[in-house]
Amino acid sequence: MARNSLDDAERHALLRRVDRGTATVGSRVPASVTVDGTDVALREFVVATRNQRTLTPAERSRVQDVRDRLRAERDRRRDRLASADLSVEEGTALADSIVGLDRALAALADLSDRSLEADRHERHVESHRSWLEFLDRIQK
């Protein structure tokens, strides 16, 4: 058993913390995270993607792939927090990493939603532009 093992009350408190919807308030996207044995420059990816006005379908697919991989990693870490023999320090660090993953997932979800909204707006504007061009042609 690990030294300074996480007791049931401490484990429960950490699980409540990571499951709370407001856990990410004030937290930052981690600079990097290891997912499936691969280091991902997560903050750089989020910032670079966020700086784009709209996402192409390929970029949107890439964001979705990253979100899926992060969600799976988050679930693995939560399962480990719920059941592994951890020290208090290990449990706290694991909970912090889960909150960081949740923050990244939220940032990428916002980004994806914003991109879809921009695409809808662009199609709406193009539809109106086409309609106005049609009206101009029939008036001449």
Residue 50 CA to residue 113 CA, distance in Å, equals 11
Top-confidence residue, 35 or 77: 77
Residue 35, CA distances (Å) to 3, 54, 62, 105 in order: 27, 26, 15, 14
The tokens for 26 are 């004030």
pLDDT at 88 over 90: yes
pLDDT at 121 over 70: no
Residue 105 CA to residue 74 CA, distance in Å, equals 10
- Binning pLDDT at 50, 70 and 90, where does residue 113 land? low
pLDDT at 2 over 50: no
Mean pLDDT of the region 26-45: 88
pLDDT at 117 over 60: no
- Binning pLDDT at 50, 70 and 90, where does residue 14 land? very high
pLDDT at 64 over 60: yes
Mean pLDDT of the region 96-114: 82
pLDDT in tens, 69-79: 999 999 999 99
70's CB contacts (< 8 A; 6+ apart) are 33, 35, 42, 101, 104, 105, 108
- Binning pLDDT at 50, 70 and 90, where does residue 111 land? low
Top-confidence residue, 90 or 24: 90
